[in-house]
């Protein structure tokens, strides 16, 4: 069902696990548990129970009638991940991994977060599933995201501000890994995107594939055929791999990932080992990761999940870039025509659809993954529009 490669977690040349020995042992134990539970009927039943009763799945595949008519080309459908509890796709993966943690007998979950979205999703589901939760966050991010810190604390999580290093996301990852190695018997490290050493990219693929399993069933019901294209935004790659996965074998379905031009990992990256796995990465001449600067916090990452690097190199998926200006226009356009304020991340996918749809026939179909809602972004968009960027 997915590209889960037999042994070592490689997608072509990409992926793998480049970590110290102690951590390798922890990852192997995780891999064994994942392989055992991914096909366990009881586990799956529980996972789908929480998706339905807590997350609110299945969510709709909404026909964007006004946007379609306005653009005058392909019929556009929106996969409504914005309607999930907590307002984005991240919760699908979080619920799955916490369930796995409990099956493995873990007493606590740890995670790192940058802007706070993954931390809030993790703290949310940990509260519901009654498991101890610690979130590592760089001190700079703690300062900038004080409301998200408060949310996590309301949900009962402990937020640890990381002062080491530069106090950024990378330093939070390092501290979380230290915690994991010291407490591996009781602790589960929950990764929020399709990145990291094996087996994380495959685990996240697995738990996000519910997006395209639903959308495929829904489009067949509504249109009686598969879409011509599926479009999703790409940060680390989890909503995109979830939106693509059920169509990977359907070679006539174009799979398109949209990146910010300021963080165009797949368009401009080169192979490198970063954060324990081999993938494409934006780097300088000396091979150091380049800083990125997207208006969407969730896309602000110089690396990318290894499966996307493979899909790009093998030609199965296409990756395009969109500019800040196009994203802000798309954000406003879909707000006005469809009454949906999208996350800035999702507006990257919409921005590409606005270019793509008019070039396609009227009987073609595009599914765009609306990865999240935009409430978190309205203040920032107001500021950007006033600056007239
Ligand atoms: C975090 C986030 C993303 C980016 O992460 P991926 O792993 O690439 O999906 C995209 N959209 C929303 C709404 C997010 O919260």
Position 168 confidence tier, pLDDT thresholds 50, 70, 90: confident
> Residue 289: pLDDT above 90?
no
Cα(134) to centroid of ligand 1, in Å?
21
CA dist 379 → 83, 303, 375, 386 (Å): 20, 27, 8, 11
The percentage of the chain sitting over the pLDDT mark of 70, rounded to a whole number, equals 98
Protein residue with least CA distance to atom 13, ligand 1: 372
Residues flanking ligand 1, CB < 6 Å: 88, 90, 117, 193, 233-240, 298-299, 343, 345-346, 371-372
- Where does the pLDDT of residue 254 fall: very low under 50, low under 70, confident under 90, or very high at 90 and above? very high
CA 160 to chain centre: 23
Residue 389 has pLDDT above 70, yes or no: no
Residues 6+ apart with CB under 8 A from 296: 233, 235, 260, 327, 343, 344, 345, 347, 348, 377
Pairing of strands 270-274, 277-281: antiparallel
Q: What 3-state class would DSSP assign to 349?
A: helix
Mean pLDDT of 164-184: 90
Q: How far is CA 159 from CA 53, 130, 154, 216, 300, in A?
A: 27, 17, 11, 39, 21
Pocket probe mutation, ligand 1, options 83, 151, 235, 348, max atoms within 8 Å of Cβ: 235
Question: How many Å lie between the centroid of ligand 1 and the Cα of residue 192?
Answer: 9
Active site residue 102: no
Token pair recorded at residue 50: 């929480």
Query: What's the confidence (pLDDT) of residue 285?
Result: 85
Q: Are 290 and 280 in contact (CB under 8 A)?
A: no
Q: In this model, does residue 6 exceed pLDDT 70?
A: no
- Cα dihedral 85, 91, 96, 100 sign: negative
Task: Tell me what pLDDT residue 127 has.
Answer: 98
pLDDT category of residue 324 using cuts at 50, 70 and 90: very high
What is the pLDDT confidence band of residue 7, given thresholds at 50, 70 and 90? low
Task: Render pLDDT for 20-59 as a digit per residue (tens, 0 to 9).
Answer: 999 999 999 999 999 999 999 999 999 999 999 999 999 9
The rounded percent of the chain whose pLDDT value lies above 90 is: 86
**Predicted confidence (pLDDT) at residue 152 exceeds the cutoff of 50:** yes
User: Cβ distance 371 to 81 under 8 Å?
Assistant: yes
Q: Indicate if 58-88+209-386 has the same CATH topology as 18-49+90-204.
A: yes
**Number of the ligand 1 atom closest to the C-alpha atom of 238:** 7
pLDDT tens-digit series, residues 195-231? 999 999 999 999 999 999 999 999 999 999 999 999 9
Nearest to 352 by CA among 228, 233, 219: 233
Please provide residue 4's backbone torsions phi and psi, each rounded to the nearest 5 degrees: -60, 105
Rounded CA-CA distance 205/222 in Å is 26
- The atom of ligand 1 lying closest to the CA of 240 is 9
CB of 265 closer than 8 Å to CB of 284: no
pLDDT digits (tens, 9 = 90+) for 295-315: 888 887 778 999 999 999 999
Nearest atom in ligand 1 to the alpha carbon of residue 235 is 8
Q: Which class in CATH covers the domain with range 18-49+90-204?
A: alpha beta
- Going by C-alpha positions, the residue among 269, 201, 211, 266 that lies closest to residue 234 is 266
- Is 371 among the residues known to form the active site? yes
Q: Which CATH architecture has domain 58-88+209-386?
A: 3-Layer(aba) Sandwich (3.40)
Measure the CA–CA gap between 331 and 334, rounded to whole angstroms: 6
d(CA 195, CA 387) in angstroms, rounded, equals 34
Distance 116 CA to ligand 1 centre (A): 12
Instruction: Produce one character per residue of 324-339: b if its CB has 16 or more CB atoms within 10 Å, e if not.
Output: bebbbbbbebbbebbe
Q: Are strands 277-281 and 187-189 parallel, antiparallel or unpaired?
A: unpaired
Within its chain, how far is the Cα of 94 from the centroid? 11
Task: Work out whether strand 10-11 and strand 14-15 pair parallel, antiparallel, or are unpaired.
Answer: antiparallel
Tokens 């600056």 correspond to 387
* Rounded distance between C-alpha atoms, residue 79 and residue 340, angstroms: 12
Q: Per-residue pLDDT for 1 more than 50?
A: no
Return the higher-pLDDT residue of 320 and 293: 320
**In the predicted structure, residue 360 carries a pLDDT above the cut 90:** yes
Q: Say if residue 280's pLDDT is above 90.
A: yes
3 has a pLDDT exceeding 60: no
CA dist., res. 218 & res. 296, Å (int): 29
Task: Answer with the residue of higher pLDDT: 170 or 128.
Answer: 128
**Domain locations along the chain:** 18-49+90-204, 58-88+209-386
Of residues 244 and 171, more confidently modeled: 244
Place of tokens 């990992």: 265
Distance separating alpha carbons of residues 324 and 385, to the nearest angstrom: 11
Distance in Å, CA 322 to ligand 1 centroid: 16
Could you confirm whether 209 is annotated as catalytic? no
Instruction: Give the DSSP per-residue string, 309-336.
Output: HHHHHTTSEEEEEE-HHHHHHHHHHHHH
Our measurement of the distance from residue 143's CA atom to the centroid of its chain's CA atoms, rounded to an integer in Å, reads 24
Tell whether omega for the bond before 220 is within 30 degrees of 0, i.e. cis.
no
Q: Is the pLDDT of residue 151 over 70?
A: yes
């Amino acid at each position: 069902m997915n590209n889960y490669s037999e042994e070592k977690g490689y997608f072509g040349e990409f992926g793998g696990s480049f970590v110290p020995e102690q951590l390798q042992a922890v990852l192997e134990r995780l891999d064994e548990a994942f392989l055992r539970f991914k096909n366990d009927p009881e586990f799956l039943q529980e996972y789908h129970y929480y998706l339905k009763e807590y997350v609110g799945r299945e969510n709709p595949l909404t026909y964007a009638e006004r946007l379609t008519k306005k653009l005058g080309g392909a019929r556009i459908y929106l996969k409504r991940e914005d309607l999930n509890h907590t307002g984005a796709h991240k919760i699908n993966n979080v619920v799955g991994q916490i369930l796995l943690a409990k099956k493995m007998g873990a007493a606590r979950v740890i995670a790192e977060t940058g802007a706070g979205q993954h931390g809030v999703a993790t703290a949310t589901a940990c509260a519901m599933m009654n498991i101890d939760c610690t979130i590592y966050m760089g001190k700079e991010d703690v300062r900038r995201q004080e409301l998200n810190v408060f949310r996590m604390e309301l949900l009962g999580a402990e937020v640890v501000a990381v002062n080491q290093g530069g106090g950024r996301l990378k330093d939070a990852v390092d501290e979380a890994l230290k915690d994991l190695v010291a407490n591996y018997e009781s602790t589960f490290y929950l990764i929020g995107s399709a990145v990291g050493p094996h087996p994380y990219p495959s685990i996240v693929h697995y738990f996000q594939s519910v997006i395209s399993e639903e959308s495929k069933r829904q489009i067949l019901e509504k249109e009686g055929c598969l879409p011509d294209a599926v479009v999703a935004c790409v940060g680390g790659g989890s909503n995109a791999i979830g939106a693509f996965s059920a169509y990977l074998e359907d070679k006539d379905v174009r799979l398109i990932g949209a990146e910010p031009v300021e963080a165009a990992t797949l368009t401009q990256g080169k192979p490198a080992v970063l954060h324990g796995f081999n993938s494409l990465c934006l780097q300088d001449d000396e091979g150091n990761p380049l800083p990125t600067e997207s208006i969407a916090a969730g896309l602000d990452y110089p690396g990318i999940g290894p499966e996307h690097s493979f899909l790009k190199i093998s030609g199965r998926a296409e990756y395009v870039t969109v500019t800040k200006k196009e994203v802000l226009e798309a954000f406003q356009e879909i707000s006005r025509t469809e009454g949906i304020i999208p996350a800035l991340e999702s507006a990257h996918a919409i921005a590409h659809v606005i270019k793509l749809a008019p070039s396609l026939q009227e009987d073609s179909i595009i599914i765009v993954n609306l990865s999240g809602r935009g409430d978190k972004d309205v203040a920032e968009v107001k500021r950007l529009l006033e600056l007239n960027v």
